């Protein structure tokens, strides 16, 4: 049950309550980018954030592991009439043909890196992709949130799609397994069923800050949600920002 395959076609409909405008505005403030800066997004999904950066005048590349999500993003770029590039890439193997001024990863992307080895590889690749002085920003669902989802079941019954979402937590591995079952109504009135499994790791804030430092980043900071306040253990979401030093030796 690979994540974000058949789900890709439904994703935007089921995420229609997310305020992407507010999310993008927060990242604009968090990174403080110069007009027209070259930017890359990790885990771009269906491109909602990527396209908002493109509309704001940035030259942007969106990357995602799911070809299905990238296909949706490309179609939306054509429909929106904006220019944005997209590529299928694994975050742990992230690479760019030329350096950029900023890289960001919104809405749980880093949680999908299921061990610290992958986190370290991703952060090192991001460091290499940034020009000196470039900024890296991302957010995660915090341990408080993911642990609280253990054993919980969610669901929604819409006119054309119904889904069930069940969660299982492993304290030893700090992994939340999310099993989703979808029922999608077809033109003949019958329903098609499919399943996906999504697994996220509850990364501790301090281990992410340490991983940023190990990769070579400076001035790493963690914030409580979309605020400028320091993170707290009871936060559901934590935002991070770090900078590649102006004079730096690239991480290997």
227 sits in the region (left: phi over 0; alpha: psi -120 to 50; else beta) called: beta
Residue partners of 206: CB distance under 8 A and separation at least 6: none
Of 90, 88, 57, give the one whose Cα is nearest residue 72: 88
Domain 8-142+204-243 has CATH 3.90.1150.10: no
Q: Where are the domains of the chain?
A: 8-142+204-243, 145-201
Q: Is the pTM of this model over 0.75?
A: yes
> How far, in Å, CA of 147 to CA of 136, rounded?
26
Pairwise CA distance, residues 242 & 229, whole Å:
16
Written as tens digits, the pLDDT of the chain (252 aa) is: 568 889 999 999 999 999 999 999 999 999 999 889 999 999 999 999 999 999 999 999 999 999 999 999 999 999 999 999 999 999 999 999 999 999 999 999 999 999 999 999 999 999 999 999 999 999 999 999 999 999 999 999 999 999 999 999 999 999 999 999 999 999 999 999 999 999 999 999 999 999 999 999 999 999 999 999 999 999 999 999 999 999 755 544
- What is the CATH topology of the domain spanning 145-201? N-terminal domain of TfIIb (2.20.25)
**What would the pLDDT profile of 148-157 be if each residue is shown by its tens digit?**
999 999 999 9
Q: Cα-Cα-Cα-Cα dihedral of 144, 149, 150, 155, to 10°?
A: 180
**Helix/strand/coil percentages in the chain, nearest 5:** 30, 35, 35
């Amino acid at each position: 049950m690979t994540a974000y395959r058949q789900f890709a076609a439904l994703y935007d409909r089921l995420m229609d309550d997310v305020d992407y405008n507010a999310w993008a505005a927060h990242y604009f403030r968090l990174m403080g980018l110069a007009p027209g800066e070259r930017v890359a997004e990790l885990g771009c999904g269906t491109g909602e954030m990527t396209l908002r950066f493109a509309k704001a005048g940035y030259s942007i590349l969106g990357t995602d592991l799911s070809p299905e999500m990238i296909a949706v993003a490309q179609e939306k770029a054509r429909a929106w009439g904006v220019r944005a590039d997209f590529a299928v890439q694994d975050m742990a193997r992230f690479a760019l043909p030329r350096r950029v001024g900023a890289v960001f990863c919104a809405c749980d992307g880093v949680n999908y890196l299921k061990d610290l080895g992958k986190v370290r590889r991703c952060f090192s690749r991001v460091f290499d992709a940034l020009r000196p002085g470039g900024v890296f920003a991302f957010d995660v669902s915090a341990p408080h949130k993911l642990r609280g989802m253990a054993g919980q079941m969610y669901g929604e019954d819409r006119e054309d799609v119904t889904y069930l979402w069940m969660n299982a937590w492993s304290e030893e591995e700090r992994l939340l397994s999310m099993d989703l079952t979808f029922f999608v109504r077809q033109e003949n009135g019958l329903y098609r069923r499919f399943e996906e499994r999504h697994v996220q790791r509850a990364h501790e804030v301090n281990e992410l800050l340490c991983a940023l430092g190990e990769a070579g980043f400076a001035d790493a900071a963690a914030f409580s949600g979309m605020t400028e306040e320091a993170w707290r253990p009871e936060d559901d979401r934590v935002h991070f920002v770090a900078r590649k030093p102006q004079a730096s030796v690239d991480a290997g």
